[in-house]
């Protein structure tokens, strides 16, 4: 017998929405270069993005039984994190289940396995991120964990942690750190905007990044010094 957990604690909706204003890369850098999922997890449509609470599910390789259970219990705004052993040769999610997710208001699906029906999924507008694309079918045989902490694509993800995905990748933020991560991301964005403005005003990378003494200490020389 396998007992599944259907109720999870989620971060404040306003904090989640605020975090979603920033890119995955900005959030990753702002929270101390933490939380980035393995770079092989890619969107099937680079124009889509998402943010939401992690609803974790463990599936056996080439078996999507528990994914179907997860879709049944997930709430609007949740992101399905489907750990399936990183098995690439399976299309465990396609347009039929995509429509089931879309109808429930599920924010996105992220899996370390494969998906199929990618044209239909793109037309549907559901953000889908996966480790592969495969036409190979799956079975519905094996029970697994629902809403338990998982190690997924190199990161530990707990139910209710917040995940943000876009064209560059996916990042996870601890549920209790969402507000702080949003504030840090806002500060980083503001700093980068200032840098860009100064570059266009004529400042240089070595100047703005205070690299003169660093490069000198490392022994870098230029032919400009020979001319002086």
Residue 61 in contact with residue 204, Cβ under 8 Å?
no
Domain enclosing residue 33, as ranges: 13-184
H/E run at residue 213: helix 212-217
- What is the tens place of the pLDDT at every residue in 35-92? 999 999 999 999 999 999 999 999 999 999 999 999 999 999 999 999 999 999 999 9
CA nearest neighbour of 70 among 52, 84, 58, 53 = 58
Q: How many domains does the chain have?
A: 1
Q: At what angle do helices 65-73 and 95-104 cross, to 10 degrees?
A: 20
| Separation CA 215–CA 223 (nearest Å) | 14
- What is the tens place of the pLDDT at every residue in 13-24? 999 999 999 999
| Separation CA 49–CA 97 (nearest Å) | 19
pLDDT for res 227: 57
Residue 196 lies in a domain: no
- What is the tens place of the pLDDT at every residue in 97-125? 999 999 999 999 999 999 999 999 999 99
Write down the pTM of the prediction: 0.94
Name 47's Cβ contacts closer than 8 Å, sequence gap at least 6.
167
What DSSP assignment string belongs to 55-85?
A: EEEE--TTB-HHHHHHHHH--TTEEEEEE-T
Residue 193 lies in a domain: no
Residue 223 lies in a domain: no
In this structure, what token pair is assigned to residue 198? 């100064």
What CATH number is associated with residue 75?
Answer: 3.50.30.40
- What is the tens place of the pLDDT at every residue in 144-172? 999 999 999 999 999 999 999 999 999 99
CA nearest neighbour of 6 among 81, 70, 77 = 70
- pLDDT of 228 strictly over 60: no
Residue 88 lies in a domain: yes
Residue 68 lies in a domain: yes
List C-alpha distances in Å: 4 to 56, 57, 95, 155.
11, 10, 26, 22
CA nearest neighbour of 168 among 31, 24, 22, 32 = 24
Residue 137 lies in a domain: yes
Residue 160 lies in a domain: yes
Residue 117 lies in a domain: yes
């Amino acid at each position: 017998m396998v007992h599944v957990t259907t109720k999870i604690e989620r971060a404040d909706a306003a904090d989640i929405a605020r975090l979603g204003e920033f890119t995955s890369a900005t959030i990753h850098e702002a929270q101390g270069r933490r939380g980035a999922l393995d770079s092989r997890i890619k969107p099937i449509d680079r124009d889509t993005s998402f943010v939401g609470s992690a609803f974790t599910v463990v599936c056996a390789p080439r078996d999507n039984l528990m994914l179907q259970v997860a879709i049944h219990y997930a709430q609007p705004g949740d992101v399905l994190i489907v750990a399936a052993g990183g098995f690439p040769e399976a299309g465990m999610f396609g347009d039929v289940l995509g429509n089931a997710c879309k109808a429930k208001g599920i924010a996105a699906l992220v899996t370390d396995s494969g998906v199929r029906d990618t044209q239909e999924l793109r037309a549907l507008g559901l953000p889908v991120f996966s480790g592969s694309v495969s036409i190979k079918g799956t079975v519905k045989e094996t029970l697994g964990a629902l809403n338990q902490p998982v190690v997924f694509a190199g990161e530990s993800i707990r139910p209710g942690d917040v995940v943000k995905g876009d064209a560059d990748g996916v990042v996870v933020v601890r549920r209790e750190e969402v507000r702080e991560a949003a504030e840090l991301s806002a500060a980083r964005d503001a700093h980068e905007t200032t840098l860009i403005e100064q570059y266009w005003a004529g400042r240089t990378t070595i100047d703005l990044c205070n690299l003169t003494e660093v490069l000198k200490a490392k022994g870098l020389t230029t032919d400009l010094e020979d001319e002086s």
